[in-house]
Structure 1
Amino acid sequence: MMCLTILQYDNWKTGTTIEKAIQSLISLLNDPQPERPMRPEIADQIYKDNEAFLRTAEEHTRKYAEQRLAISQSSSSDAISSSSFLV
């Protein structure tokens, strides 16, 4: 079950825009809503040991996040040749 109601099957509407869905996901990232968890063990960690939760979240981000090329304002070819990466 998804803790974000806009994405739940019963609440999905044909008029829901991609923009609204993405805004809702960003909102969920900024405010994880541990009182309505998808995975209760993670919500428990937020309440009981927030520092450990944040460390784990950072580790997972480093391990699983997509690396992207940094695009300089001068030209994209300069950024690609410099091999700069963002995590």
Structure 2
Amino acid sequence: MSQTASSFRQQKYDAGVTRVAMNLEADVIPVSDVERSKQFYQLLGWRLDADDAPAKNVRIVQFTPPALGARLPSAMD
């Protein structure tokens, strides 16, 4: 089947469906100095979403880049 025929079938099948572009990326970056890392990302203009310490010697800090309109769900949600 040609790509055109395949595309036409897909369009016909999805005629009443609205497509939404969705991208999600989460990166875990271990650091030796959390406060210094927080300062770095804040200077870049990133929004601080979470700063949690769920257990002894564990700290989770979450930032969202300025290009994203909404906060990503945090690990603590």
Fold shared per TM-score above 0.5: no
Q: Structure 2 length normalisation: TM-score?
A: 0.23
Higher strand share: 2
Higher helix share: 1
